[in-house]
Structure 1
Amino acid sequence: MAPRPEYIVEHMEEDEPGAPAHFAPWALLEYRHMLYHVGEGTTVHFTSLSQASLQALEEAFSQPLPPLTRPAKFELHAQSVTSLARERGWALERICLLDPKAPLPLSVCDAGIHTSSARAAHDEAPFTHFLFGGILGDDPPRDRTSSLREQGFPGRHLGSVQMSTDTALGVTKRVVEDGLRLGLAELDGARGADAAADGTGALRFIDSPTLQFSRGESVELPYRYLAQDATTPLMAPGMRTIIYRDFDRAFEF
């Protein structure tokens, strides 16, 4: 069996040199959540960080995220993913960019751990690393992944609906490591899509879920989430509280 892949999050916010880090609380929480999506036994790399962002993430990652346990290891880097790849000897053609504009969907065969009837279309696989643009919460999407796409990384997409970066990373891990195919109706018959008999099962999603806080208070989230159950999106512990706090603040005059 192929070894577990590693994951890379290229931080794409433009931090001013010498300025303090400006992670919103929800952004820090999603970054922390990524480590638990992946789980122990491999590494999540965060690249292109300013010194202030390095320090902010180091502090955030030192805090537990109960009730979740056994996070992945992490490494924080000032250099870009391409610079880090050269330094570590990682082949760029084995680094898969999760890209909404990629021609093929992600397959259970893309890390070489599982087989798929779609394998012939995925001739670039297996990949050793999966790369994400570290931008969270753009609505509508601003295609900041384009700067990574232009560097020539092979790409895969996760369907037509935008996901937060921690969801995209969690979905990728479940597909390529756990063998759970995307299972989206929009991919039925699409080139490179896993068939119903491939993998160990299928993921379940919720699109644009509505969070109910109290009578007459709710907010719709314009993203696709993994489904925790039939009506509940899988989110980082504490995220609902942060969203409610921001929602409540929006009505303070």
Structure 2
Amino acid sequence: MAGKTYIVEHLDEELGPWSELEYLTIAKESNQAGAKFCLSSIPPSLTLPEALKTVPGFTADGRSVETLYADNKSRVCLLDPAATKELSPEDGETFDVFLFGGILGDDPPRDRTSELRKKGFEGRRLGPKQMTTDTAVRVTRLIVQEKIPLDKIPYVDNPELRINKNESTEMPFRYVKGENGQPIMPDGMVELIKKDSEKGFGDLF
């Protein structure tokens, strides 16, 4: 099942530390799974971190997905919280490209996917819970490449992270449960959250 491409249409002028860790994780996991990862609509002013640019199979493109796949839009699946149909293993036969809009990890969610929805890509949903971008790509990959149905993937919802002995914070997202029973997060993410816990999450993205 090689040959899949995961695309995040980056809808921001900047790349925050949270997104940087997520994108690096997506790039590495995609490469390990024999897939490609692309950031589209990258503004010329945005400098991507070297660690990301050196991951095999990663590309950054200034063009939008609409332009990149103008001739074969039917092979692109938009992961859309408002879609009526859940993503299934069979969709791996129908689609080669899986598209994620902007920053999925907004809380509360802003419907940034609507911009892509208007462009006519067919949509699929990943259940009712809000996911971080790397989680959404991970779940999609498990479904379409490893053929695990959406409802058979183990999840952790709204995990509580201990900041210090007196303080903890609840993450308002769904994560994939790792073999150790803990939510799978990018390397360095817990430290970033702890460091920035006194700020609002809005500063992290």
* TM-score after normalising by structure 1: 0.73
**Structure 2: how far apart are the matches of 1:249 and 1:101?**
30
- The amino acid across from 2:121 in the alignment is F
Q: Which residues of structure 2 form unaligned runs of 5+?
A: 201-205
- The amino acid across from 1:74 in the alignment is F
Partner of 1:179: 147
Instruction: Tell me how far 1:222 sits from its aligned partner.
Output: 0.3
Q: Which of 107, 126, 132 is the aligned partner of 2:88?
A: 107
SS in 1 for 2:38: strand
**Structure 2: how far apart are the matches of 1:39 and 1:178?**
15
Q: 1:249 to 1:132 in 2, by over 3 A?
A: closer
Q: Which of 39, 42, 64 is the aligned partner of 2:31?
A: 39
| Residues 1:77 and 2:46 aligned together | no
State how many pairs are aligned: 199
Deviations 1:63-106 (A, max 9, x none): 6xxxxxxx6511110010011113xx4x1011000000111101
**Structure 2: how far apart are the matches of 1:159 and 1:72?**
30
Partner of 1:241: 191
Q: Which of 161, 171, 181 is the aligned partner of 1:211?
A: 161
Q: 1:232 to 1:3 in 2, by over 3 A?
A: closer
Q: How does 1:45-84 map onto structure 2 within 5 Å?
A: 45-53=38-46, 55-57=47-49, 59-62=50-53, 73-84=57-68
**Structure 2: how far apart are the matches of 1:31 and 1:75?**
11
Partner of 1:145: 113
Superposed CA RMSD in Å reads 1.8
Instruction: Tell me how far 1:233 sits from its aligned partner.
Output: 0.8
**Structure 1: how far apart are the matches of 2:149 and 2:134?**
18
SS in 2 for 1:23: coil
**Structure 1: how far apart are the matches of 2:62 and 2:53?**
19
Instruction: Tell me how far 1:215 sits from its aligned partner.
Output: 1.5
Partner of 1:6: 5
**Structure 1: how far apart are the matches of 2:160 and 2:28?**
24
Instruction: Tell me how far 1:60 sits from its aligned partner.
Output: 3.8
Partner of 2:203: none
Partner of 1:119: none
**Structure 1: how far apart are the matches of 2:53 and 2:68?**
23
SS in 1 for 2:91: coil
Identity of aligned residues (%): 40
**Structure 2: how far apart are the matches of 1:108 and 1:84?**
25
Instruction: Tell me how far 1:217 sits from its aligned partner.
Output: 1.5
Q: Which residues of structure 1 form unaligned runs of 5+?
A: 16-21, 64-70, 113-125, 184-201
Moved over 6 A (4+): none
Partner of 1:199: none
Partner of 1:93: 74
SS in 2 for 1:9: strand
* TM-score after normalising by structure 2: 0.90
**Structure 2: how far apart are the matches of 1:136 and 1:94?**
22
**Structure 2: how far apart are the matches of 1:241 and 1:222?**
17
Q: 1:141 to 1:56 in 2, by over 3 A?
A: same
**Structure 1: how far apart are the matches of 2:5 and 2:82?**
22
Which of the pair has more CA radius of gyration? 1
Partner of 1:120: none
